[in-house]
Structure formats: structure tokens, C-alpha cells
Chain A
Amino acid sequence: MAFSLDPNKFLLEANEFAVPTRSNKLRRGQAYYGASQQAGSQVTPMAPPIDTLGGSFLGSAPEKENEIGMRMAGDAIAAFVDQEAQKELIEAQKSAAKKASRGGLLGGLLSAAGTIGGAVIMSGCDERFKEDIAPLQTSEVNDDLAQMAFAVQEIRGHS
């Protein structure tokens, strides 16, 4: 259906297409006018105002909800990965410990048990692995454990 170019007919026809919304509060058969228009003047079709509730420079409310959801999902995935790494470590430790108890391959225990992805996260410090134990004076190896030991020695020296 095409609108008539006659202003009065156009108005009547436009009334039929005015859509009541919460913001314009139109009732059926009531014309929708712009702020500068008077009844009887030519109707300029106006789209209902876009709902901007929650909108801001940083994004709309749904976008923020999505962002928060994505962040929560990321946290959950990170926690899951941590759990899996812990399980992997425990299995590696058990496997290496069994090897050690079977064949005395304690070197495997130290190399396999304490690392995941190349990072040393545990140390085989059980006294049963060691000999020549004495209060710390020097070390030929400068690993994480040695650095911790010297740091504690320094703390003890100051306390």
C-alpha cells in the first residue's frame, strides 16, 4: 500500500500504521507526531526511540554481561587446567616413586617427579635420598632449592 501525497490523506493513512510502544504511548488510531509537528500537519514517520538503557560508551548491558560471562568461563577453564596439571604431577610422582622403590632408579624420581613442562615445582628432599648431610656452608649447584636455602640462612642470620 502506497501513501498518498495529499497531507490529509497521508495523515489518515499513517494513523493506521502507527505502532503503539511503551515510549510513544500511542493508542490505536492515534497519530504519531514529532515534537515540532502539530496535529494535521504532514506526518514524518519516526522510529520509536532505541532503548538505550544500560548503554554507555563502553558498551551496552548485554555486551557487559557477555564480557563478564567470558571472564568467568576463562577462570573456570584456568582452574580446570590447574587441576589437570596437579593430577598429572601426582601421577608422575607415583610412577617415579614406584620405579625408585623397584630398581633404585632415584635419578628418575628426581628428574621426572619434580617437573612439569620443564618447570621444577617439587624437590626430592627426603633424607633417605641424601648423604653427607651437614649445616649449610657451600653448594656446587645453584638451583631453586639452593637459592631458598641460602635465603633462609640469611634470614636466620638476621634474626
Chain B
Amino acid sequence: MDIRDRVAQLQPIQFRYHKDIDPEQKLRAGFSAQQVAQVFPDAVVEIDGYLFIKNDVLGGYIQAAKS
């Protein structure tokens, strides 16, 4: 499977952070870190039980897929 197919497996979402994170609760675009981890495990890091997306790693894959 090439990089473009893998990137196409990502599922972009819209969401709002909980109010204690973002009091304005703006509508945002992004991904679920859990879903990203299934496609690109190296683009996610787990810290104290929470998942974070490594923007530089994921961005690199997306850039490669675009080009």
C-alpha cells in the first residue's frame, strides 16, 4: 500500500474540545488520535495514558501523499 492510500485511510473529523479545555468550544477540524494510531502508529505518542498526534510526523506523511 503506498503512502497516498495510507493517508486516505485517515478520517478527518470536526469536533469541539470539552468546555474546560476550550471555554469558547469552537468547532475545530482534526483527527482522532486513536484512529491515526491505527494507520500511522509512529505519528502518535502516548503520554500518561493520553494520545497526542505528532504534527511534524503526520504532516510529513500528508505532504508526501500530496506530492
Contact = CB atoms under 8 A, between A and B. Distances in A.
16 contacts: A90-B47, A93-B48, A106-B20, A107-B20, A121-B54, A125-B33, A126-B34, A129-B50, A130-B16, A130-B32, A139-B28, A141-B29, A145-B55, A150-B12, A151-B66, A152-B31
A18 interface: no
A135 B7 CA distance: 16
A106 B18 contact: yes
A145 B52 CA distance: 12
A51 interface: no
Contacts, number: 162
Interface in A115-131: 120-131
A136 B66 contact: no
The 6 tightest CB contacts between A and B, nearest first, are A139-B29, A146-B29, A97-B48, A125-B33, A149-B12, A136-B12
Interface centre among B11, B29, B51, B53, by most chain A C-beta atoms within 10 angstroms, is: B29
Contacts of A131: 15-18
Interface string B20-60: 11110011111111101000000001011111111110110
B32 A133 contact: yes
Interface residues of B, number: 43
A133 B11 CA distance: 11
A134 B27 CA distance: 11
Contact of B30 (A109, A125, A132, A137): A125
A159 B4 contact: yes
A140 B26 CA distance: 6
Interface centre among A131, A144, A155, A159, by most chain B C-beta atoms within 10 angstroms, is: A155
Given A122-B45, A129-B18, A149 B4 contact: no
A98 B23 CA distance: 20
